[in-house]
Structure 1
Amino acid sequence: MHIKGEMKLTEPVVRSFRVAKVFKENTDRINNIDFSPTGDTLISSSEDDQIVIYDCEKGTQKRTVNSKKYGVDLVHFTHAKNTAIHASTKVDDTIRYLSLHDNKYIRYFPGHTKKVVALSMSPVDDMFLSGSLDKTLRLWDLRSPNCQGLMHLTSRPVAAFDPEGLIFAAGVNSESVKLYDLRSFDKGPFASFRLNTEKNCEWTGLKFSPDGKTILLSTNSSIIRLVDAFHGNPTHTLTGHLNDKKIPLEASFSPDSQFVFSGSTDGRVHVWHAESGHKICVFNADHNGPVQCIQFNPKYMMLASGCNNMAFWLPSEENS
């Protein structure tokens, strides 16, 4: 597998993406994927209690870490080398900080009383955010087991840091987005955008575009909302991908914020132009189940998508 670095992402290049490699290590659904900031490794968590680490440059699986006791969900790299945080699927709803090097836990972050459904690592430091079905958002510092901040909401939260790590956004009740300043979040949101209440679906994920200008709201239906991050105006509703199982489907931006990628329940991958909202293409992937995880590598010209299998995508040679 040969991946390229500095290549400009254009529509023809996006259309040329093909599956370069498929990994079939998992026996159950991949529930989260995350690229390292340098783009050279990818980590995944799955319902079969495995954490798998991939070498993106070589296109190989580096190693597998089992988490049989606590299960694993929402795995994310931290900024320290060879470490990750993840939510639990068994025993309790504690967040765990793991040394991948020797498979030992560095620290536990207890507090949530129901399933953790959102986890976001600060892009700049050791802070991270968690949101749970217990209707709370918690702010943490990797260096301390004590919660640094607690917010009670009226519904299941979705939340994420902005690319600068100065503010975070929380989506509440599938109808409003609240922006908090990290230095004074206890004073409440400094901005609140109310959108039309979702009728037949709920928000299941929130992300900022890498340029910080757009907020993406993914849902458990076949719609994705794009919202202006500064004024809160809805800019586009992206549709056309199948979600007949009412499950959370991840959607992600390309690193230049130009394109949005989403999986679907029929195993295909859909791509839209973020600025115009137009669909560019649909890929027939080698996925035998719903594609719930999809992300673009932050540094290399490569896409990763996951059902039970993990697929690595590259632009085809005629476009390189």
Structure 2
Amino acid sequence: MEWRRVILTRQHERNKKQCDAFVGLIQAHNKLFESAEGHHLANAKLTVELEQLKKENLELMVKLEAGGGSGQGDKNMAQKLLSLQEELTDFHKRKGENSQEIIDLNKAVQEKEKELVAKEQKILELETSIKQLNEANENMEQNLIEATTANQVLGDEQQALQLAFTSLECKFRKLQEENNDLVSRWMALKSRDADKMNAENDKVLEQKNLKMQKELAEAAREQVNITAPTGDNMGALGTPTACSFVVTVPSRAINTLEAHDGEVNAVRWSPSGKIFATGGSDRKVKLWQAIGSKCEAKGVLTGSNAAVMSVEFNMEETLLLAASNDFACRIWSLPALRLQHTLTGHSAKVLAAKFLGEPNKVVSGSHDRTLKLWDLRSKNCIKTLFAGSMCNDLMTSDTYGSTIVSGHFNKKLMFWDPRVDTCRQEILMEGQITSLDFSPDGMVLLSCTRDDAISLIDLRSNQVMKTLRADGFHLGCDWSRAVFSPDGEYVMAGSGDGTIFIWNVMKTKVEKILQQHKHPVTACSWSITGSSLLSCDKQRTVVLWADF
């Protein structure tokens, strides 16, 4: 019954909207129509009376002409005729007024009819609008019902997802606890392995010391005649003398060895040129000694959890620093072959690390867009420099005070003063920087970039003084290393096709091309003696170049 009441209410509302506005107009129209009808009837009556009066007047005129009746009767008839004429004139006047009133009423009726037509048209438009609004209202009600249903479904799904999230969060916490437990156990095992390895190294070192003491005791029992050195041979016995080496460019590979179980990312001669180190993707750093054309393994440094990307000796050759893809740097003691420090704090792989002025300080550059300065005495990071771009290589120099130069993915060379937190100067290169190196006098900076060019920058003016290029030279990776010769007259770099290019700096042209590698060369190193070169590639190979 509710729907019937709703329909009746809506019909009353519709009648009220459509009829009440025109009630006055209809009533006025009806009154005008009734008045016009009354005037028509009155006019008809007056017309009939007029005809009767005309007839009577005609009869009276006939009688007067016939001469019948008395004089008093004529007088009465004349008066009556006069009154009738006056009445007739009044009737004519009233007839004209009624005709004018009828015309005015007809005009008013026509205007009302026009208003009525306009109102009806408006009513039709309003009915159409009401119909459209009703349809829109029905659609909105349908959409509301659908939205309510969808909201209910989404609410149910949210509740289900909340329950699933709570369950997963509980599982995550349990897994995190298990992971922490596993990490603790793993660290304990690593610590036990490190202690075991250190014990073995101590045992080996003790055996070496005993052997050395025995040899010294045997040598002490022997009688040796010692001749005092002269000025010509003073340097041969270790007395400080001015010593220089003649740099020669070798032309042949005297030894090729598979140094690692994967890519060889780094190779470096020691400052004395007696040994060299290699770092590979097998997470190891290996030490080698070149004796003539042979390369003998002198030790393996373990502890890295990812590929080793760079290696560096300190000047005393007592420590070796390596950067790794496990977001850390490590320092080993060379005499004992023991891991001394692990520097963790970067959030991405570390591609370069160098000693900073003294053995107790280290600077590292990472793909997390920062440089970090480390104090080895406290084993802590003492400063973080925010470069804003991934660091591929860096160098340190004391020529112009303590200076750090870093090369980045955004093609910028950035100069840093370790005492402040901001970059001192920037130089924009033509390509992404892969490696840096200082000339022996510290006045020229080498910058190798991915546009297959090597730029030499004068640090006194901070301008590019020379650019070295060659046909067929193209870099094979983002960490391809180029180096100066010990006298600064040559520059060596490896290409992506395995070819090694050596440029003459003064002539800015290729001095020699060496071909032995079959895969992209990643790093090169020039011995301090000036006659031996090292190169490594992405397929385990290290090549020793010399002419002896």
Structures share fold, TM-score greater than 0.5: yes
**Kept after mapping to 1: 8 A contact 2:476/2:522:** no
Amino acid at match of 1:309: T
- Offset of 1:122 from its aligned partner? 3.3
Give the counterpart letter for 2:427 in structure 1.
Answer: R
Tell me how far apart the structure 1 counterparts of residues 331 and 434 of structure 2 sit (CA, whole Å): 23
Q: Secondary structure at the match of 2:521?
A: coil
1:53 and 1:193, CA in 2 relative to 1: closer, same or farther beyond 3 A?
same
The amino acid that maps onto 1:249 is S
Find the counterpart in structure 2 of residue 248 from structure 1.
Answer: 479
Equivalent residue number for residue 95 of structure 1: 329
Query: TM-score under structure 1 normalisation?
Result: 0.83
Counterpart position of 2:314: 78
How far did 1:250 drift?
Answer: 1.1
Report if the CA contact (8 A) 2:389-2:409 is conserved: yes
Q: Could you tell me how far 1:260 is from its partner in structure 2?
A: 0.2
Q: Quick one: distance in 2 between partners of 1:258 and 1:136?
A: 33
Letter in 1 for 2:464: P
- Correspondence 1:77-226 to 2 at 5 A: 77-79=313-315, 81-89=317-325, 92-122=326-356, 124-157=358-391, 158-162=393-397, 164=399, 166-172=402-408, 174-182=410-418, 184-186=419-421, 188-190=422-424, 192-196=425-429, 198=430, 201-226=431-456
Alignment of 1:304 onto 2:534:
yes
Superposed displacement of residue 51, structure 1: 1.6
| Per-residue CA distance 1:57-106 (angstroms, 9 max, x = gap) | 454223342537613331222345443222233xx412112234555321
How far the C-alpha of 1:26 sits from its partner, in A, is: 2.1
With 134-143 and 219-228 compared, the bigger mean Cα shift is at 219-228
- 1 CA distance for matches of 2:244 and 2:251? 16
What is the Cα-based RMSD across aligned positions, in Å? 2.5
Letter aligned with residue 479 of structure 2? P
More helix by proportion, 1 or 2? 2
Following superposition, the deviation at residue 114 of structure 1 comes to 0.5
Tell me, yes or no, if the aligned pair for 2:476 and 2:521 is still in contact at 8 Å. Answer: no
Q: Aligned with 1:126: secondary structure?
A: strand
> Contact 1:137/1:152 (CA < 8 Å) preserved in 2?
yes
Identity over aligned residues, as a percent? 25
2:285 paired residue number: 51
Distance in 1 (CA, whole Å) between partners of 2:394 and 2:337 is 28
Question: Hey, what's the Cα distance between the residues in 2 that align with 1:105 and 1:176?
Answer: 34
Query: Where do residues 261-300 of structure 1 align in structure 2 (5 Å cutoff)?
Result: 261-284=492-515, 286-300=516-530
Q: Tell me how far apart the structure 2 counterparts of residues 84 and 230 of structure 1 sit (CA, whole Å).
A: 31
Separation in 1, partners of 2:458, 2:304: 42
Q: How many angstroms apart in 2 are the aligned matches of 1:283 and 1:163?
A: 33
CA distance in 2, matches of 1:233, 1:177: 12
Q: How has the CA–CA distance of structure 1 residues 255 and 185 changed in structure 2, closer, same or farther, with 3 Å as cutoff?
A: farther
User: Structure 1: any 5+ residue segments left out of the alignment?
Assistant: none
What is the CA distance between 1:195 and its match in structure 2? 3.2
CA distance 1:124–1:35, change in 2 (3 Å): farther
- Tell me the equivalent position of 1:8: 246
Could you say which structure has the greater relative contact order, defined with CA pairs below 8 angstroms and 6 or more residues apart? Answer: 1
Which deviations, in whole Å up to 9, do the C-alpha atoms of 1:170-203 show, x marking residues without a partner?
A: 2355444333334x233x344x24335x3xx411
Greater per-residue strand proportion: 1
Deviation of 1:7 after TM superposition, in Å, equals 4.3
- Most deviating of 303-312 and 141-150: 141-150
Q: Is the 8 A contact 2:246 2:529 kept in 1?
A: no
1:126-179 deviations in Å (ceiling 9; x for gaps): 322111111001112332311122110111123211264732222355444333
Q: What is aligned with 1:35?
A: 269
Distance 2:381 2:283 in 1: 26
The structure whose Rg is larger is 2
**Secondary structure of the corresponding residue to residue 420 of structure 2:** helix
Q: 1:146 to 1:156 in 2, by over 3 A?
A: same
Letter of the 1:17 partner, please give it: S
- Cα distance in 2 for residues equivalent to 1:300 and 1:144: 38
**SS of equivalent residue, structure 1 residue 56:** strand
Partners of 1:220 and 1:248 within 8 A in 2: no
Q: Could you give the per-residue CA deviations for residues 227-274 of structure 1, whole angstroms, max 9, x where no partner exists?
A: 111211112222225336454321100011111000111111101122
Q: Which amino acid aligns with 2:343?
A: F
CA 1:116/1:96 → structure 2, altered by over 3 Å: closer, same or farther?
same
Tell me: CA distance 1:258–1:163, structure 2 relative to 1, closer, same or farther (3 Å). Answer: farther
Residues 97 and 66 of structure 1: CA distance in aligned 2, closer, same or farther (over 3 Å):
closer
Q: Which residue pairs with 1:61 in the alignment? A: 296
Q: CA distance change for structure 1 residues 246 and 63 in 2, over 3 Å: closer, same or farther?
A: closer
- Aligned equivalents of 2:280 and 2:409: distance in 1? 27
**Separation of aligned partners in 1, 2:487 and 2:370:** 32
**Structure 1 partner of 2:95:** none
Query: SS of the residue aligned with 1:161?
Result: strand
**2:545 partner amino acid:** W
Name the count of aligned residue pairs.
299
SS in 2 for 1:55: strand
Shift in alpha-carbon separation, 1:24–1:176, aligned structure 2, 3 A: closer
Letter in 1 for 2:342: Y
